[in-house]
Amino acid sequence: MSQPIINILPDAQDGSLGLHDVEDDVESGFLSLSKTTTLKARPESADASGVTFQTIESGSSAQKKKDMSIYDAMRMECEEMEFNLMKARDQILQKEDVAFLMQRNDEEITKLQIQQAKELKEKADMFDKSTKARAERKAAKKLHRSNMRRIKYRDMLIQKQETIERAAQLLRQGVLDQSEAFETLMSHVRSVHEQQRVELMAAQERKLEYERAINDLEINSKPDEIRLGLAKKFQVRQSHQRILNKRLNEHLRDRQIVEARHVKEKFELESRCADEMGTLRVSHVTRIAEQQESQFLELNNEKERLQAEHEARKLAALAQRHQAELKRLQQVQRLAIKQLRSMHDQKIAMFKEDRSAGATGISAMAGIMSGISSTTDSLNQSAADINDTVSERGSQILGSPPRPSVGHSSPRPARLSPLGQRNFGPSDESEMLSQTSDYRDRRAMAIQQMQERHHQERASLLLTVRAEMAEIRQQNAACIADMAEDHRVELEKLEMEQREELELIRAMLEKEILVEQSVHESEMAALVERRVLNSVLESVVDGIINIRPDGVVTRFNRAAERIFGYSAKEVVGNNIKMLMPKSIARRHDEFLMTYLKKGVKKVIGSSRRTEGKRKNGEIFPMKLSLSEVKEQDEHLFTGIICDLTEQVWRETQIRENEIQEQRKLEQLVSELELSRAETEELLCEEFPRGVAKQLMDGKQVTPQSFECATVLYLGVVDFSDMCETMDPSDIVSLLDEIYSTLDDVIQKYDACRLKAAGDSYLIVSGIPTPNGDRHASEIATLALEIMSKVHLFQFERNPSLKLRVRIGLNTGPDVAGVVGTKMPRYCLFGDTVNTGSRMESTSQPMRIQISESTYAMLKAAGGFQIVERGEIDVKASCVLRAVLGKGKMRTYFLNGKENFPYELPPPS
């Protein structure tokens, strides 16, 4: 503890000591000296306290009284100083007590703040632990749900695989069953066909037997000659019947082959249809299973999403409420600190009042400390109650059971904090339950909507599957019906062909029977018949030659003699190769031996065109038909020959006529192409080439606008006077030479002539094909060359004639198009054309007048010699053009061009 300090300072004037009184500065807590008492003391004397006072002796009583009064004053001042010193000491002690109290108060406040911070941290830790525990519970539940759904999904996949495997097994079993059914059906068909063949052969044999028995009964009673004829006739009929039976067996075999093929094709089609149906059914099962799988996953994902969304909202709400509770708790703590400070201030004021009232510092301090302890206990109890309320509410929110409160059997009611804010109570629980119920309703509604959508998708897929199955069934039924119809048509066609063939065979057999019968009946007149036959063979138009297998000729009729030029005696007994060209005779024996060994019929029984050789060595075309006859020991080849010389000559004439017609046609086409080229050339003379091509192709020429082009008008000076003094033929010849000269010049430049009427000549550049900014320079150079040509022009019929022209140029926008249908013309329209005409009409003879727009482009191009003419009055010179006057215009004369290769007339 610090002691009061009294400063005794030496006096500046007389060396005495100055004692300063001490006052209490309550506000600053320091002591200050406001009064000064001067004590005079001897330096050589000192009292017990170390202060020496100087005594002044006086010789007189007045002086003594005065000294006594001074001493009394000094005593009073010392007592007053002592009082003030004691007062200052009390004030210092009071300050120290107040400082001690304030320090204790600060320690209590700090301790309370630490306790409150610890409580806040405990609350936050408890919330974090509760949140973490809740998250762990939710994660465990989610893992459990995931495991259950994974098990369900695995079971679904297993069921899907089993369903697909069952469908595939059914498909494979169906294929095996179909294969067995096909084998059974084919074995049945083969057995039926075999039975049909056996029955047919048995029927044929029975027919032959009863025909033989009947014939035996019929001929037994006949004479020998008739019996021999009838027996031979019966043998012929029997051989014909065997041939017919053989063909019938072949027909039956063909029908059976077709039927077996039809059965196989039908089975293959049915198998293919069944495979398609099975494959489609497997695909449908797979699609339905995949849809169930995707819907299962989608529903589970939606449930997890809704659960996660609800959990996130709930955690956000819990966190928000936790933050609100923490804020309220902090407010409560700040209010408690504020109340504690107010109570401390009151206690200090009470302490000061007690000290002022005379109480000792220790008793006052004890009272104050007891008051502070009770106040602190009450504040701590209040804070603990608030914390218990908050803790209990937080536990209920996070899902943990509330802690039991001492002395209360019922839940703590919601109460107001010191700030007037309401803590969470039962109403908050009802609100949370309401929100939870709303969420459950929304979740149930969302899941129900998804399930309804899944049901609709399943129904739609089932409808699609049924429609596809019905469609494939219809397609398969249509394919089977089409195949059945095709098979029926094929069988009918085969039966018809077989009937026709049998009828033809029967007819042939009947004919052979009749022939045999006639031969048999005329056996006795064989010589006569032989002569008749020979006469017939000799009288036919075609040549008939018989040869043996070794190639020796045995018959050579008159027609063959006429065709080949040989007699029968010269040919019969010789080899047939003498009638063939060397190229054919060289391989004849080889062909004949090959046929006799292998029996492959390539030319037997057919007609073909070949060549023969006459006696004079001439090779001629002929038609050869070969046939083979084998009767008993006789083996002959018969050739029927038709001379094709005349026919080939006629065919040659026809081909030559066709070639001549083709040449005439080609000549006509070439003449047409030439005429088209001439027409195109004439059109190109009258029109620009691109426009002429469109007209030749029959296309319509679309009018076009051109931003900038240059026109040239040329007129012959005094042309009307020439027409009056010259013959018409001379005028035409003059114009022809002028036009020819100008046309030759135009071909050198990117320009085209659009009009030539009388003495007027119109040329344009940049139309119909734009050429950038070159049109002005092209037309200007063209005008200079025209002027050079006119300057040197001489008319052959009148050499003394001096031709003079005027030329005008103008540049600007134009519109061009074809006008007219019977006599179309490519015309220009616009002010540029009219101004160009005015440039020509107002120009001077043998001068080229240009407008200001043309001058600007030529100046930009450079190299041209131009002089200004000045402003002139450009008026209309022709009433027919109906063009108003242009008024005053600035024009120029074009006199030449740098490095121009032609001679120009001197400017007038």
Q: What is the dihedral of CA 161, 162, 163, 164, to 10 degrees?
A: 50
Q: Express each pLDDT in 283-333 by its tens digit.
A: 888 888 888 888 888 888 888 888 888 888 888 888 888 888 888 888 888
Minimum mean pLDDT among 180-194, 463-477, 628-642: which range? 628-642
Looking at the predicted structure, is the pLDDT value of residue 27 above 50?
no
Per-residue pLDDT, 851: 94
| Domain 698-897 sits in CATH 3.30.450.20 | no
CB 881 within 8 A of CB 827: no
> Closest by alpha carbon to 903, among 793, 746, 788?
788
Between 27-36, 519-528, 673-682, 719-728, the lowest mean confidence (pLDDT) is in 27-36
Judged against a pLDDT cut of 70, whether residue 881 lies above it is answered with no
For residue 807, the model assigns a pLDDT of 94
Cβ contacts of residue 457 below 8 Å, gap of 6+?
291, 295
CA quadruple 767, 770, 771, 772: dihedral sign: positive
pLDDT tens by residue, 234-251: 888 888 888 888 888 888
β-strand pairing of 760-765 with 704-716: antiparallel
pTM of the model: 0.35
Please name the helix (run of DSSP H) or strand (run of DSSP E) that holds residue 734, with its range, or none.
helix 728-746
pLDDT of residue 897: 92
* Fold category of 526-639 in CATH: Beta-Lactamase (3.30.450)
- Local structure of residue 749 (DSSP, 8 states): S
Task: State residue 431's pLDDT score.
Answer: 66
Digit-coded pLDDT (tens) for 58-81 = 456 777 777 778 888 888 888 888
Nearest CA to 247 out of 505, 576, 529, 588 is that of 505
Does residue 179 register a pLDDT over 90?
no
415 vs 898, more confident: 898
d(CA 800, CA 818): 41
Residue 802 — pLDDT band, cuts 50, 70, 90?
Answer: confident
CA atoms within 13 A on the CB side of 311: 16
Helices (H) and strands (E) counted in the chain, each on its own, are 15, 16
Higher pLDDT, 682 or 216: 216
pLDDT of 511 strictly over 90: no
Query: What ranges do the domains of the chain cover?
Result: 526-639, 644-686, 698-897
Interacting residues of 9 by C-beta distance below 8 A, sequence separation 6+: 17, 18, 20
Whole-angstrom CA distances from 22 to 5, 31, 90, 399, 536 are 8, 6, 12, 70, 189
The proportion of the chain whose per-residue pLDDT surpasses 70, expressed as a percent, equals 77
E strand spans, 304-462: none
Encode burial over 483-499: b for 16+ CB neighbours within 10 A, e otherwise: beeebeeeeeebeeebe
